[in-house]
Amino acid sequence: MQEIKAILPAKDKWVSLVWQVNDWCNFRCTYCSEWNWAGRNKNDTDIPLIVDTLERIMLHYKAKGYKYFKLYLSGGEPTFWKALIPVVEKFREHAEWPGSCVGINTNFSKPLSWWKDHHHLFEDVVASYHAEWSKDDKYMEVYKFLQDKKNYLCSRIMMHHDHFQQCIDFGDRIKEECDNYMIEYAPVYDELRPSTDPYHYDEPWQMEFFQTNSTVQQQSIPIKKDPSYAWAKVQYEDDTVEPIDTNGIITNGKNFFEGWLCNIHESLHIHPNGKIQQASCGVGPVVGNIVQGEFNTTMSEGVWCPKSHCHCAADFNISKARPEYAKQIR
């Protein structure tokens, strides 16, 4: 992979709302911090207030000329959050269609009946596979149902170093049984939490696997896709441009943007306690609390990144550039 000089928006004036809706999960993966699953924050007691604050946020951005929105929901396990459906319905009411998007990161532990009732609310589904906890047959049942219904459906296989071959075998099963698939073989960080160290694997063959198996995909069943679903594109040193591959950036060690200009006004991160902050990495200012009905419209436009590395896919999609190329994203 060439050196990256900038990450640019793939469409005009869009903003992402990255919402970690809860910190409770029914899985207890060994590589995941208690911060993600213990359920310390009770944030669904006043659903009308949450929905009203979301509406104010979207109206603020629309008044500034933003047309497209991406709402990306994660947890914990977001499908267990009581406010999930009312929040998504309000978002869909105010976003511009086609062009906007609702995405969800889930462990597929909800039954197939839940997905039959609610799948129409989500354009993008990222289904994480956890070797220690996932029920393979149940996972496959939901994946097969969704394979011809989503703009973007990805199986993100969390490559646990002690269950590495099991993870490879499950990816092979998806490829054998599904007509449409996208599989990300995702490196597992030392511990999944807001600030964490890059992954490492002791076995050389495991590291070699990532170099040739970052992402694999196939589409045999036609799907009517929104052609504008790509949110960012990578510009290389020779000025070639291609759609961003967030998993590939990590596995190829290109997620080091310290000293780059990062346009954090393009992204809001909402924490499980309701805190609203610019960008998911924690460098941006706090601009409100959605649980308490607070939103401050005075925000930073951009920052010179102080972080040693970037580990959040949502932040990869924010426009950013090396200092010598910063003019093109201002």
- The answer to whether 230 and 243 are in contact (CB under 8 A) is yes
- The answer to whether 48 and 79 are in contact (CB under 8 A) is no
The whole-angstrom separation of Cα 215 and Cα 145 is 21
pLDDT computed for residue 104 by the predictor: 98
Q: Cα 251–79–74 angle (5° rounding)?
A: 35
The whole-angstrom separation of Cα 215 and Cα 252 is 12
pLDDT computed for residue 197 by the predictor: 55
Question: Domains (ranges, CATH) in the chain?
Answer: 11-230+264-294 (3.20.20.70)
pLDDT computed for residue 258 by the predictor: 94
pLDDT computed for residue 156 by the predictor: 97
Contact partners, residue 292, CB within 8 Å, separation at least 6: 49, 274
pLDDT computed for residue 127 by the predictor: 98
Structural tokens at position 178: 């599904």
pLDDT computed for residue 227 by the predictor: 46
Which mean pLDDT values do the consecutive 10-residue runs of the chain (330 residues) have? 87 87 95 87 88 94 90 96 94 88 97 98 97 98 96 94 96 97 88 55 89 87 62 90 83 88 94 94 93 92 90 85 89
Q: Left if phi > 0, otherwise alpha if psi is -120 to 50, otherwise beta: which for 99?
A: left
pLDDT computed for residue 166 by the predictor: 98
Q: Cα 141–224–148 angle (5° rounding)?
A: 10
The DSSP bridge pattern shows strands 180-187 and 215-219 to be antiparallel
The whole-angstrom separation of Cα 31 and Cα 113 is 30
